[in-house]
Amino acid sequence: MEVIIKNDATTLSAYAARLIRELIRRKPDATLGLATGGTPLLLYRELIRLHREEGLDFSFVSTFNLDEYLGLAPDHPASYHQYMRENFFNHVNVPPANIHIPSGQIQGDEIPEYCRRYEEEIQRAGGIDLQILGIGSDGHIGFNEPSSALTSRTRIKTLSPRTRQDNAPFFAGPGEVPHHVITMGVGTIMEAHHIVLLAFGEKKARAVAETVEGPISALCPSTILQMHPNATLLIDEPAAGKLQRSEYYRWVFDHKPGWQRVL
Ligand code: F6R
């Protein structure tokens, strides 16, 4: 696990965007795993800039989103379909046929088969080359809440009261946040070739400390990233506030050999 601590979210988001740019230059038909929420907004803004100003070409890229609220139509203002259109897809040239976001409108016993097919489509696309993650204040990745099986696959999950409260600002009121979601599983996420997790703000400090330095536990699903061979954590100062070895992580980054540097 590589832990990179920088002052601000803008610098870290630009770094993540450069990782994606380098991947697409190397592999124009790369498959990206995408996240929503407040955290990746600056990353999407930077990717849009790279597309407009440097001609970063997404025309062969495929994307798979982590999750969607169940019960929301794709044009619901708080749906992740709407979020992705507004914040990314309307501004770059990913072909619509290459965009995959779990449906929020699957119901009842259709759900397991739908989730199985989502997994199959990821496999058909050759697996995820680079997965962007945010992190919940309870350590969830995707919407794999505490106690999620660390080998889980795409499936329905129930949101914890804390996540519903965290996400209430995106809805008309706290009672409006759906209880259920479809999310890629922890096992699905762990199969990505490269995982890039962004964490900004003091509210994430406890989850970040557990992820990097805590014992691996389903009670904090992000801790499984310690087992991933190629995970990069991009953390701002407030989110790094509870790390015990932050000086060491900074030292390691400052002494990276030149050939390993993306910046
Ligand atoms: C979103 C997702 C979630 C968020 C997490 C953090 O697709 O899968 O895991 O990344 O809830 O949300 P923000 O970024 O809003 O703090």
Considering only CA atoms, which of 45, 33, 158 is closest in space to residue 101? Answer: 33
Tell me which of 68, 145, 191, 210 is the catalytic residue. 145
Closest C-alpha residue for ligand 1 atom 1: 36
Average pLDDT over residues 179-195: 98
Pocket test for ligand 1, best of 135, 148, 152 (most atoms within 8 A of CB): 135
Q: From the CA of 74, how far away is ligand 1's center (Å)?
A: 18
Considering only CA atoms, which of 33, 35, 182, 179 is closest in space to residue 102? Answer: 182
| Spatial separation of the C-alpha atoms in residues 93 and 96, rounded to whole Å | 9
Q: Tell whether the model's pLDDT for residue 263 goes beyond 60.
A: no
Q: What type of residue sits at position 54?
A: E
Helices 41-54 and 9-26 meet at what angle, rounded to 10?
A: 50
**In ligand 1, which atom is closest to the CA atom of 133?**
10
pLDDT band at 173 (very low <50, low <70, confident <90, very high): confident
Average pLDDT over residues 218-240: 98
With a Cβ cut-off of 6 Å, ligand 1 is lined by 35-39, 66-67, 134-136, 140-143
pLDDT band at 260 (very low <50, low <70, confident <90, very high): confident
Q: What is the mean pLDDT of the chain?
A: 96
DSSP alpha helix (H) spans, 55-160: 80-87, 111-124
Which of 16-20, 21-25, 171-175, 200-204 shows the lowest mean pLDDT across its residues?
171-175
Q: Are 140 and 213 in contact (CB under 8 A)?
A: no
Percent of the chain with pLDDT over 70: 100
DSSP state of 244: T
140 catalytically annotated: yes
> Angle at Cα 99 formed by Cα 95 and Cα 101, nearest 5°?
160
| Spatial separation of the C-alpha atoms in residues 169 and 160, rounded to whole Å | 16
